Amino acid sequence: MSDDGRPWASRFRPSTLNEIAGNERAVGQLRGWLRSWEKGPPERRAAFLYGPPGVGKTCSVVALANDLGFDLFEVNASDYRTKKRLDELVGRASMQTMTITGKRRMILFDELEGVSGREDRGGISAIVSLIKGTRVPIVLVATATGEMWEDKFGPLVDLSLVIEYRPVPFSAILRRLREIADELGTQVEEEALEHLAHRSQGDLRSTINDLEAIARGAERVTMAEAEVLGERDRSDYTPDALMKMFSSKTLMDARRVISSSLISYDTLFDWIYENLPVVLDDSGDLAEGMDALALADIHQTRGRRSQEYRLLKYMFNDMTGGVALSRSRSEGAGLVKLVRRKVAELGFQPSSFTITERPEGLQIKPVRYLGDDWRPFNSALRGMGAQWVREGGYWNVPYFRPPQLIWRYRKTWHSRRRLRSVAERVAERCHVSTREAVAEVIPLLKVIFKEDASMAKQISGWLELDDKETKWLKS
């Protein structure tokens, strides 16, 4: 590949699947879904890809289109402000399965997060009706985290195969950087590459930009040069911003997280809530910190209800300063304690692992070969956001994990839908409200369905439940 003057992030943008770093599972899901179109339109005619920036969401769509021979029709945020505009632009494309050149077509909606606020509601509903009628695969891409997932994209998510992209693992980023350096014939010190990979926080695109900043035109790059990048004044990746916030000693320092972090204050709130019990490992601190967060929530509710957005500053003070300054007796060893407890719970000796604090997270290395014990331990740690780093033979547990809300809502999407439909049946047949059905009757039905097949059969006949609902009660 010649140096054509393009920025490296675009020059080294993967054009085939093999070049995509990380997110193998997500890419596999997307690929499987696209392949399923060969047998005619599948049940879900759209795929919804979401995740942090620079992890290869759009890249993988482009690469897959190349690999599978699709003609890609790209639509950007500015194109879907209104239904009319969208119909003009995409309506016909979604009905033609083939292009003039005989290629199969596929439609990509990029930067979906750009659809914001009420004026765009038309936009979302226009996409919804497109999905319902489309004859070609539609891929939706959003750099999205946080609660808005349920609210804003709810109607889209309902119709789509939802695929989550995660930050690219440290090791995959390191590998890709090395490949690029080799291809360029530039000698980059291993330490420098590691420094870059660590700074990346899983954002491969920005890391390639960083590499370009120090290596373009150079024959050798040393650690000293990489360090110059230091604290580049780009907005902080959330975990870094949180780290600063939790160690603040003044209200003003703590509040800085609101403006310096990449994400909305709503999402930031969720991050703080998720991680606060790990950081504040003293009960007194925790109660105080949670109190501050609960008050922040109250201020926000008041602001929203009265439409007086000046009230939000009180929310910011509580959720940042209120939380950070409640830290007085905590040792900041919550994560270590948590890991130790997991170790003990699974029946290991504390000496079976070494636990080291590293900048990128807690490094947990087994002292001996784990054999079959690896799996349960792996899944326990994964629950804490850990990743197994094969090269080093250790797990890396990040100090801060993303809010679990999205993940939880996603995981329980179908189950909650069944819950609603069963609750309506129960409410009608048992003369109770659906709320009461959920709280009082369904939990008992679940016990019955698990324990007594013949009674279950009778009840499901009586409630006129379908197979899926019956199965849900049994699960």
Partner 1 sequence: MSSGMWAEKYRPQNLDDMVNQTEIVSRLKNFVKDRNLPHLLFVGPAGVGKTTSILALAQDLYGPGYRSFILELNASDERGIDVIREKVKNFARTAAISSEVPFKILIMDEADSLTSAAQHALRRTMEIYTRTCRFCLIGNYSERIIEPIQSRCSVFRFSPLSEKDLKGRVRTIAKEEGVNLIPEGLDAIFDAAEGDLRKATNLLQAAAATQGGEVDDIAIYGVLGRVSPGKVREMINLGLKGEFLEAREVLRALLIDEGLAAEDIIRMIYSEVLRLGIPEKRKVQLSDAIGEVDYRLTQGARSEIQLSALLAKLALAGEEMC
Binding-site ranges for partner 1 (CB under 8 A): 273, 277-278, 283-284, 286-287, 289-291, 293-294, 297-298, 301, 305, 338, 404, 408-409, 412, 415-416, 419-420, 423, 427, 429-435, 438-448, 451-452, 455-456, 458-463
Buried/exposed 147-158: b ≥16 CB within 10 Å, e otherwise: bbbeebbeebbe
Residue closer to partner 1, measured from CB, 58 or 470: 470
Q: Name the minimum Å distance from CB 435 to partner 1.
A: 5
Residue closer to partner 1, measured from CB, 10 or 415: 415
Q: Name the minimum Å distance from CB 382 to partner 1.
A: 15
| Alpha helices per DSSP H over 307-333 | 312-317, 323-324
Q: Name the minimum Å distance from CB 409 to partner 1.
A: 7
Residue closer to partner 1, measured from CB, 74 or 291: 291
Straight-line distance from the first to the last Cα atom of the chain, in angstroms, rounded to the nearest whole number: 54
Residue closer to partner 1, measured from CB, 243 or 438: 438
DSSP per position, 178-207? HHHHHHHT-EE-HHHHHHHHHHHTT-HHHH
Distance CA 362, CA 398 (A): 6
Q: Name the minimum Å distance from CB 105 to partner 1.
A: 38
Residue closer to partner 1, measured from CB, 100 or 444: 444
- With 0-12 / 13-18 / 19 or more C-beta atoms within 10 angstroms meaning exposed / middle / buried, residue 210 is buried
Please give the DSSP secondary-structure letter assigned to residue 168.
P
Residue closer to partner 1, measured from CB, 173 or 286: 286
Question: How many Cβ atoms from other residues are within 10 Å of residue 76's Cβ?
Answer: 12
Q: Name the minimum Å distance from CB 18 to partner 1.
A: 38
Q: Name the minimum Å distance from CB 474 to partner 1.
A: 12
Distance CA 111, CA 120 (A): 14
Look up residue 38 and give its amino acid.
E
Residue closer to partner 1, measured from CB, 213 or 448: 448
Q: Name the minimum Å distance from CB 431 to partner 1.
A: 5
Please give the DSSP secondary-structure letter assigned to residue 326.
T
**113: three-class secondary structure by DSSP:** helix
Q: Name the minimum Å distance from CB 360 to partner 1.
A: 22
Give Cα separations from 194 to 136, 198, 223, 272, 391 (angstroms): 42, 6, 9, 28, 13
Residue closer to partner 1, measured from CB, 257 or 441: 441
Q: Name the minimum Å distance from CB 336 to partner 1.
A: 14
Residue closer to partner 1, measured from CB, 173 or 397: 397
Residue closer to partner 1, measured from CB, 68 or 448: 448
Q: Name the minimum Å distance from CB 122 to partner 1.
A: 24
Buried/exposed 161-187: b ≥16 CB within 10 Å, e otherwise: bbbbbbbbbbbbbbbbbeebbeebebe
Q: Name the minimum Å distance from CB 293 to partner 1.
A: 6
Distance CA 405, CA 407 (A): 5
Q: Name the minimum Å distance from CB 447 to partner 1.
A: 5
Laid out side by side, the sheet with 46-50 consists of 70-75, 104-109, 138-142, 46-50, 160-164
Residue closer to partner 1, measured from CB, 375 or 450: 450
Sign of CA dihedral 295, 301, 305, 308: positive
Residue closer to partner 1, measured from CB, 258 or 279: 279
Least Cα distance to 95 among 144, 119, 129, 48 occurs for 129
Question: How many Cβ atoms from other residues are within 10 Å of residue 44's Cβ?
Answer: 17
Q: Are strands 138-142 and 361-366 parallel, antiparallel or unpaired?
A: unpaired
Look up residue 318 and give its amino acid.
D
